[in-house]
Structure 1
Amino acid sequence: MPKSSQYSLPATYYRGGTSKALFFREDVLPGPGPQRDRLLKRAMGSPDPLQLDGMGGSKAVTSKIAIVRPSTQSDADIAFTFAQVGVARDFIHYGANCGNISAAVGPFAIEEGLVQFRPGRSVDTTVKTQEVRIYNTGTGKLLSAHVPGTHEIAGVPGKGSPVLLDYRFTIGVELSRGLLPTGNASDMITVAKKEIEITICDIANLCVFANARDFNISGHETAADLTANLDWLAKTQELLGKAAVLAGAVVAPDPDPSKAHLAARLFLDKMCHESMAGTGAICTTACSRIPGSVVNRVIGDAMELDTLEISHAVGTMAVPSRLFEPSAASWMELYTYLIASGQMHLRNDQFPMFCHWVMASSSINFDMGGKSALT
């Protein structure tokens, strides 16, 4: 049998806070573009819900990449690019930062000899630290890591180094309008027909804050419980959309699920899809155009519209379509054509990326099944 072609490159596996990432020096990777994207997704084993053939751990917090190089800026020691890699979905996103992984950037830079010593600060004045000034390419902002120790962090067994991260220069990281982009300490919006108080802050990452009681939760629920709560998910999507409009992050709110033409949940392999499969949305739209079908009876007068709004578990999907007057003989041809040529705009398909010492260092072999990772 012919041997599979493999491509090897050095990588280091770090935990940062409650996340883990593969760390690469930028000079061992191909330049930005499809080749790099393909290689990094391959390293994580994506797209695959289990990420069995890569270093990912089947969750967003363990499907991360850090790319580090010496900085050319006088006010930074290194440049750090954070990449969030999709688990089951085929994507890689560079336009943000991760606070957890940022805690491991300083230690990596020191271990790799990328920085010269600069005295740092520490909460414990008896502990000497080294400052590493980091420029995050995704946000265009500076932060400093003060790297020493042992420190425990909730959600992670064992101890590691208490890396102090200074985020003072990341105010206005997303919108460049200061700490409070609306200019107010609090604002009122309507979610699920109820007026609630929120605060929008922009430092390190753009976040919106609301009281748990306004969503009929205690704030002590597990992540699994909240993920399984479809009512909660729908409300948070409405909250995010309206807060984004208020802050000026988007020009129009995400579609209100209550105004969608129908609500749909897609089941595959005994599991409810977390949102809505694109092919499922196309089929739903096609079915809605068939007089007398179950979907057609649900949407009513929306039959006459060019776009069908489908509310799913985490938002609303708009599917444009063109409707021709069919004859009985051409019916299947018509809807085969519609499915093949339908255009889809997936709103609510991108989410903000909210986001300590070395675990292992190794050379990673990429088995590309006879095809180079760089082609």
Structure 2
Amino acid sequence: MANDLLSIPCVLMRGGTSKGPFFLASDLPADIAQRDRLLLEVMGSGHPLQIDGIGGGNALTSKVAIIDRSSRDDADVDYLFAQVRVEQQVVDTSPNCGNMLAAVAPYAIERGLVQAQDPQTRVRIFNVNTGKLIVATVETPGGEVVYRGDTRIAGAPGSASPVRLSFLDAAGARTGKLLPSGHAQDTIDGVAVSLIDCAMPMMLVRAEDLGVRGDASPAELNADGVLLARLEAMRIEAGARMGIADAGNKVIPKPVLLSAPQHGGHLQVRYFMPQQCHTALAITGAVGLATAAVTPGTLANTFVGCLGLPGSITLEHPSGALDVSLSRSSDDAPVVASVVRTARRLFEGRVFATSPATPEICSTQARQWTSAA
């Protein structure tokens, strides 16, 4: 009996504290509207459990990575990230995701887009969302990607092989400016905020200024409807001041609550995605927060004080802590932020969508009619 479901090659991967399918760009429709409709079907968006798709019913597990061989001289692969909403039929490609980024280099090597070296392979990644370059270093002894290792990261169980990510010049990823409003601090709804655009556009605010404990759990914060409504209103105003039109329909800027550290770090943070508190911390958020911490006058800097470069910032989050190394080649050179993540290949196969397999919706490589007995 013929099966009329479209099937597309994909690899399900964990990158850092996120998870989602990885696709080759050539296996998806070239038309953006058709591509996004297909992704919504594949992920099962529009249902809180994403029961009719492979999404996990959570913002951290409803993410997609689209990879292509790069035509740029300074990059090996292009990486387009898509945040697929869980309950809404929305695909947002405005932000980058640094956790999914951790799996890009292993995926690219294993798909033959990059030749593996021994004992490590350096992969230059161009993030299409932000127009920025990131260098990933993957352990490849004998020219093979290894996933087993002793590196542990907060927010993911067990240990794995390290993936080192260096963000070469993350400032102004979306707006073109580190401080889009031109000020280290602004006031929104009577509260001091810092509007930062570095790897991820963010609105930083002191937790105490919103009457919130800095160590409040994500569950507590997510249950506070009054807080969430206020944060959303402030976030939309922050977006307008940062030049991000219609922020209410986008996942940027992200609100972040700041407070004094409690476990020996430099700063305690609660990062929102944006209507839900992250159980750990986004890597792009960590890069931006660390950069803000060494930018004079920002709210993050008021907690950290003077820190010379090269240096390291430790950010405490609900699942533990994350270290960001900062350096620059000269006083006027861009800050380079580096983090260590892990990744794992979870599943390889074909994902099915209900769209008909027609030339109008798919590329030649993506069309694959299957049959069942």
Q: Which category of TM-score, normalised to the shorter sequence, fits these structures? A: 0.5 to 0.7
Structure 2 partner of 1:143: 134
Greater radius of gyration (CA): 1
Quote the offset at 1:52 in angstroms.
1.2
Quote the offset at 1:210 in angstroms.
1.5
Quote the offset at 1:347 in angstroms.
7.2
The alignment status of 1:213 with 2:204, answered yes or no, reads no
One-letter code aligned to 1:85: V
Mapped contact 1:118–1:132 kept (Cα < 8 A): no
The alignment status of 1:84 with 2:68, answered yes or no, reads no
Quote the offset at 1:3 in angstroms.
4.5
Structure 2 partner of 1:256: none
One-letter code aligned to 1:228: A
Cα RMSD after superposing both structures: 2.3
Secondary structure of 1:49 counterpart:
coil
Quote the offset at 1:4 in angstroms.
4.0
The alignment status of 1:67 with 2:66, answered yes or no, reads yes
Quote the offset at 1:47 in angstroms.
2.1
Structure 2 partner of 1:187: 185
Residue pairs, 1:294-305, within 5 angstroms: none
Q: Which residue among 356, 359, 363 is the counterpart of 2:350? A: 363
Structure 2 partner of 1:29: 28
Structure 2 partner of 1:285: none
Quote the offset at 1:367 in angstroms.
4.6
Secondary structure of 2:60 counterpart:
helix
Quote the offset at 1:72 in angstroms.
0.2
1:161-193 per-position Cα deviation (integer Å, ceiling 9, x unaligned): 32111112221101112x233344x314142xx
Instruction: For 1:190 and 1:41, locate their aligned partners in 2 and report how far apart those are by CA, in whole Å.
Output: 35
Q: Greater CA deviation, 129-138 or 147-156?
A: 147-156
Instruction: For 1:217 and 1:76, locate their aligned partners in 2 and report how far apart those are by CA, in whole Å.
Output: 43
Instruction: For 2:49 and 2:8, locate their aligned partners in 1 and report how far apart those are by CA, in whole Å.
Output: 23
1:238-292 per-position Cα deviation (integer Å, ceiling 9, x unaligned): 3323433444445xxxxxxxxxxxxxxxxxxxxxxxxxxxxxxxxxxxxxxxxxx
1:98-142 per-position Cα deviation (integer Å, ceiling 9, x unaligned): 1111111111111111013478xxxxxxxx532111111111221
Mapped contact 1:189–1:242 kept (Cα < 8 A): no
Mapped contact 2:130–2:174 kept (Cα < 8 A): yes
Unaligned runs of 5+ in 1: 120-127, 251-345
Unaligned runs of 5+ in 2: 140-148, 255-272, 274-281, 283-342, 362-373
Structure 1 partner of 2:44: 45
Structure 1 partner of 2:217: 222
Distance 1:131 1:28, change over 3 A: same
The alignment status of 1:197 with 2:203, answered yes or no, reads no
Structure 2 partner of 1:263: none
Quote the offset at 1:86 in angstroms.
1.8
Distance 1:43 1:249, change over 3 A: closer
Distance 1:33 1:18, change over 3 A: same
Structure 2 partner of 1:131: 122
Distance 1:35 1:180, change over 3 A: closer
Residue correspondences, number: 264
Instruction: For 2:242 and 2:247, locate their aligned partners in 1 and report how far apart those are by CA, in whole Å.
Output: 18
Mapped contact 2:10–2:351 kept (Cα < 8 A): yes
Quote the offset at 1:145 in angstroms.
1.1
Mapped contact 2:236–2:247 kept (Cα < 8 A): no
Larger helix percent: 1
Mapped contact 1:11–1:361 kept (Cα < 8 A): yes
Instruction: For 1:58 and 1:96, locate their aligned partners in 2 and report how far apart those are by CA, in whole Å.
Output: 20
- TM-score in terms of structure 2 length: 0.65
> Identity across aligned pairs (percent)?
36
Quote the offset at 1:35 in angstroms.
2.6
The alignment status of 1:165 with 2:170, answered yes or no, reads no
Structure 2 partner of 1:174: 174
